[in-house]
Amino acid sequence: MSVSLEGKTILITGASSGIGESTARACVTAGMRCVINARREDKLKTLSKELGSACSIVVGDVTNEGFNQHLLDEAGSLYAVFANAGHGLNQSMIDCNMDQCKELFELNVFSAIELASLAAKQMVEQKQGHIIFCASCLSKFTTPQHGVYAASKSAIEAMAKSMRMELKKDNVFVSTVHPIGTHTEFFDVSAIRSGKEKSTFSSQSPAWLMQPPEKVAGAVVGCLRRPKPEVWTSLLMRLISTVFSAFPRLLNAII
């Protein structure tokens, strides 16, 4: 099955940098209209200027009470939502700071689910739509220091799975994206949130573990055209995560 994207509108949260920004570019190139959101107005304005009349902006924090409804009201009629805004945290479980854990879940999980369920109501009436959540390869397994982040991505994956089954009869697709390490602001933002100055993750990781955000953006557009449950940009990581799920002792031994 192939969906024509020409003239359809997508709302993308977290579009002031990284994966969201690249996805907005890729969607406009594919003929879509984009409503982009994030907190940094200057960055959104620059991107919107580059993308021209196909792009409009709604500035604000998706974790603020009532903001997701405001975002949808401003966006108008939508074909798709990419719930992408998110951040990480590098913290061992024994030292985890509950306020930071709650903040992370507010953004990565609760706000994304609220936005998706509000948008789904409109899509069910339209009898068409596509909701895409930005999960992670870490929704399938975890590594030291990333337990809380991985838990948030596992949670979003589980909720997306239920939503997918619930909305199938209404012709609304639900997908999750599972990027590997992606060169964005993500690692520095996570490091700063965790009380460190800068992250060395991207510079020290092997090349096969890292990718440019454009790769994820291309895969998201591919999924909009040909809807599928899960979007992976690394077959190797998909296989590794499956092996880790089947053999948990292997994960301990290797990591």
Ligand X SMILES: NC(=O)c1ccc[n+]([C@@H]2O[C@H](COP(=O)([O-])OP(=O)(O)OC[C@H]3O[C@@H](n4cnc5c(N)ncnc54)[C@H](OP(=O)(O)O)[C@@H]3O)[C@@H](O)[C@H]2O)c1
The contact set with ligand X (CB under 6 A) reads 13-20, 37-40, 43, 61-63, 84-87, 107, 134, 136, 179, 181-182, 184-186, 189
Q: Which residues contact 193 (CB under 8 A, 6 or more apart)?
A: 87, 88, 89, 100
Q: How far apart are the first and last CA of the chain?
A: 40
The least CB distance from residue 48 to ligand X, in Å, is 13
Looking at beta carbons only, is 175 or 182 nearer to ligand X? 182
Looking at beta carbons only, is 8 or 87 nearer to ligand X? 87
The least CB distance from residue 153 to ligand X, in Å, is 7
Kindly tell me the burial class for residue 95, based on how many C-beta atoms sit within 10 Å of its own C-beta (0-12, 13-18, 19 or more).
exposed
Q: Are 141 and 186 in contact (CB under 8 A)?
A: no
The least CB distance from residue 79 to ligand X, in Å, is 21
Looking at beta carbons only, is 82 or 173 nearer to ligand X? 82
Looking at beta carbons only, is 63 or 175 nearer to ligand X? 63
In whole angstroms, give the CA distance from residue 138 to residue 154: 8
The least CB distance from residue 168 to ligand X, in Å, is 25
Looking at beta carbons only, is 105 or 186 nearer to ligand X? 186
Relative to beta strand 181-182, strand 172-178 is: unpaired
**239, 179, 177: which is closest to 210 by C-alpha?**
179
DSSP designation for 31? T
Looking at beta carbons only, is 173 or 232 nearer to ligand X? 232
Angle at the Cα of 2 from the Cα atoms of 54 and 238, rounded to 5 degrees: 95
In whole angstroms, give the CA distance from residue 232 to residue 80: 19
Q: Are 77 and 9 in contact (CB under 8 A)?
A: yes
Place of tokens 């339209």: 126
The least CB distance from residue 2 to ligand X, in Å, is 26
The least CB distance from residue 108 to ligand X, in Å, is 6
